[in-house]
Amino acid sequence: MLYKLAKHFELVVYTNSVHAYAKKVCELLDPENRGIFSHLLTREHTLPYKNSAPTYKHLKILREGRDHKSILIVDNKESVCIQSLYNCVPIIDFD
């Protein structure tokens, strides 16, 4: 399914995880290394929420050269979408 989506959309992994963990997940999702993800953004790319501990994924990191109306975040934590409510689709945790 991800291979089909990658033919029509730019797929970006944006996670609160550390880079090493996120890279392993991407390797599991793309075992043939076909390059389905154009970018891997990790905890280092999140922003603090009002200078406190929780961080969020802000679309401004993805906006350069992109229409923000065409960006969709799918995430299991609503809190990471604080600044991007209209672009966020909350999902349940994967067990």
Q: What predicted TM-score, i.e. pTM, was given to this entire model?
A: 0.74
Predicted pLDDT at 28: 92
Q: CB–CB of 95/80 below 8 Å? A: no
Q: CB–CB of 79/56 below 8 Å? A: yes
Per-residue pLDDT of the chain (95 residues; tens, 9 = 90+): 888 988 888 888 888 889 999 999 999 999 999 999 988 988 888 877 776 666 777 777 777 788 877 777 777 777 766 667 787 888 887 76
How do strand 55-56 and strand 47-48 relate by DSSP bridges?
antiparallel
